[in-house]
Structure 1
C-alpha cells in the first residue's frame, strides 16, 4: 500500500495510538472471552532456501510475538483487505490498488483509485513475501512493520480517507465483523485489531513456486531452459547486489540513478526517497529494492511507475543511469564508470529468466483471493 507525505503518515499513526489507549479501549462490558479458534495457529510456510521470516514485534510482557498468525486472524484480515467498508466512501478497499493477478500491484503508474480521485505521488508496490521485510515498508521505509503500515493508507486523505473512530463504529455495527473479531481476538472490533488482522493476511502472501523454485528445490530439474539458466547467472552477476538471494531483493534502499535533481520541495520531498525518513544525505534519492518475483506481470516499474516495460528498465541500467554523488556504487560496472554492460543477447537471456520468476500458483491462489466472490 502506498502513502505520500511523511507528516500525514505520522499523523495517522498518532490518531490510531490515541484511539488504542483511550477513546475506544474496551470496557469490562465490552470484553469477550477468547475462543479456542484464536489459539489455532496458522501453518506458516517457510520455503526451502528462504531466510527465516521476520516475526511480528515481540511483546515485552510475554517475550512472544505480539501478533502471531492464527487461522481466524488471517481469514479476518483477508476479508478486511477486500472490503470497501474500510474507506470513507465505502468504495475503496486495499485490493483497489493491489490486484492479485498483478502480484498485488495495480498495473498503472500512479493510481487515482483513492477516495479523493486525486493521483497519488507513488506507484502502488507489489505485496510479495512481506514476511521477510526487515528494513521498513513503503518506497522510503517510512513504516517499520506491517501493523503500523496499515494506518497510512487507511487514514490518508487521497487513499482510503478513513477517520478511525468511524471505522470502529462501522465494524461494531456489523454483526459479521463482531463475530469474526471475537473469534480472532476475543474482542470487539477496534482500529488496532483491524491493523493486526490486515497484517496477518499480508504475511501469508508468499510466492515460492515459480519455475525457478522448482528447479532450485530439485523438484523439476529441467524447469529452466538453457536461455533461462544463462539469464539466472547474469542476474546474479549483474543485478544480485540489490536483487539478492532467494527473495530477489535485499529489502534495502538504493539510489539507482534515475534522477539527478532532488529539489522537489513542492511535493513534500517525494523524490528524496529514504532521505525523507533518515535525513542522511547518503540516502538522497534512495528507494526500496522491489523483488524480481512476478516482475513480468507487475509493470510499470520504479517508485513512480515511469518505466512501462522491462525493456525500458534494462535500457536504463545499460545506458541512462545518472552519475551523481549518491548513485549506488554497485552501478559502476562499466570500467568504474556508471552503467551495467549488457549485450542484446544477455538482455534477452535475462528477460527469459525473469519470466521464470512468475508464480502462477501465487497469482491464482484462492486463499489470497476475495472472499466475497
Structure 2
C-alpha cells in the first residue's frame, strides 16, 4: 500500500502536459468602417496564429520548387499586389489567367477571387497552393514535410494546440494573418475622421465630389467596394468555349445574367496596385478612366450604372479625369505599406 501511495505522489509531482493558452487578439475596426464579417468560431485570431500565418505567407518552401511564396504575387510594397498584368512568377513559368488582386481589408470581404470562387479566407489559400501554374503543391506532401520542419510543429502547437501539422490549420493560420491586413490611415481617412494631416486640396475635393457622383455606386462606403459583381464593359462577348476566362461570376453562380461580371475591387492604395482589371489590361489610372469615358462595350449583362447616358459609359472631361486621379491618390496608406514591408 505504501509503495502504491508513493507511486501516486510521485506521479502527481510530475508536471502535467498543459495545452498552450492562446493570446486572443481583437482586430481594430477603423471609425469610418462598418463592422467586419464575423470571424469563424473555430478560427478566432490569436497572436500565435497570426505569427504562424505571417511566417507561412512569406515562406517560399510552401511551393513545389521552393521558390514561390504567397508574397511573390502579393508584395507588401505594392499593397500586396505584384505590378504584373498576368504573373509568370509561379512554379511553371506560364502566365496566369487572372491578375493577382491586392490583399487589403480582407476581413470585410464577402466573396473572394475575381469571380467569387472562394467563400472564405480559411479556404482561399488552397487554390493558389495547388494550382500547377502558381505554387504547384501537393497538400498532403506539403503537410508531411512541414511535420518534419525544425520549427513549424512547435508553431502549430502554440497556435492551435495540435501536436501535428494539418492542412486545415495551415489554411486557418494564413487566414488569421490576412485578416490583419487593414488599411485605413490614408489622407482620405484622416480627412473623413477629421484627424490631423487630413487636409485635401480643392482639386482633390472636387475629385471626391466626382467620385461620389460617378463611381460610388460600386466602389461603395469607405471600403471602396460593394462586395458585389458587375460587368463593367470590358468585353462585348464571352466565349463559352473558355468560360474560366470570360464568364466571371457566372462561372460560379451558373446564371446567364452573371456572365461577364467580376468582383468590385477596393480602390484603397489604387495608385500602388497597377495594372488594373481582372486581367490587368489597363496599365495606368488614365487608361482606366479612358475606358469608362469612351471604351465601355455594351452587352446584355452590362452594369446599369454604365447605361445611364446616350452611350455606354460615364462621360468625363480631361479635367474631370485629372481631378478624379488626384482624389484616388489620397487613398494611399503609406503606414500600411511600411508596417508590412520586411526590413532590408
Query: TM bucket by the smaller chain?
Result: over 0.9
Q: 1:348 aligns with which of 301, 322, 325?
A: 322
Q: TM-score, normalised by structure 1?
A: 0.85
Shift of residue 269, structure 1, vs aligned partner: 3.0
TM-score (structure 2 length as normaliser): 0.92
Match of 1:357 among 328, 331, 339: 331
Instruction: Give the match for residue 51 of structure 1.
Output: 34
Choose which of 261, 264, 267 in structure 2 pairs with 1:289: 264
Contact 1:147 1:196 (8 Å CA) reproduced: yes
Aligned length: 327
Question: Is it true that 1:273 corresponds to 2:273 in the alignment?
Answer: no
**Matching of residues 102-113 of structure 1 within 5 Å:** 102-113=78-89
Corresponding position of 2:130: 155
Paired position in structure 1 for 2:99 = 123
d(CA) in 2 for partners of 1:164, 1:174: 15
Moved over 4 A (4+): none
Q: 1:250 aligns with which of 226, 229, 232?
A: 226
Q: CA deviation at 1:221?
A: 6.8
Report which of the two structures shows the higher radius of gyration computed on alpha carbons: 2
Listed as ranges, the gaps of 5+ residues in structure 2 are 1-16
Superposition pairs for residues 171-190 of structure 1, below 5 Å? 171-187=146-162, 188-190=164-166
* Shift, 1:164, TM fit: 1.1
Show the counterpart of 1:81.
57
Offset, 1:370 = 4.4
Structure 1: how far apart are the matches of 2:116 and 2:107? 15
Gaps of at least 5 residues in structure 1 are 1-31, 58-64
Where does residue 227 of structure 1 map in the other structure? 203
Show the 5 A alignment for 1:91-110: 91-110=67-86
Whether contact under 8 Å (2:188, 2:198) holds in the other structure is no
Counterpart Cα distance in 1 of 2:341 and 2:334? 13
Looking at structure 2, the residues matched to 34 and 159 of structure 1 have their Cα atoms a distance apart, in angstroms, of 36
Q: Could you say which residue in structure 2 is the equivalent of 1:34?
A: 19
- Residues of 1 paired with 2:301 and 2:121: CA distance? 29
Q: Aligned pair in 2 of structure 1 residues 133, 112: CA closer, same or farther (>3 Å)?
A: same
State the Cα deviation string for residues 212-235 of structure 1 (Å, max 9, x = none).
Answer: 001111103752111111111111
Which of residues 309, 326, 333 is equivalent to 2:301?
326
Q: Which moved more, 1:220-229 or 1:246-255?
A: 220-229
Shift of 1:256: 0.2
Of 241-250 and 162-171, more deviation after overlay is shown by: 162-171
Farther-moved stretch of structure 1 (205-214 vs 338-347): 338-347
- Offset, 1:47: 0.4
The question of 1:211 aligning with 2:194 is answered no
Q: Secondary structure at the match of 1:205?
A: coil
Secondary structure of the 2:222 match is coil
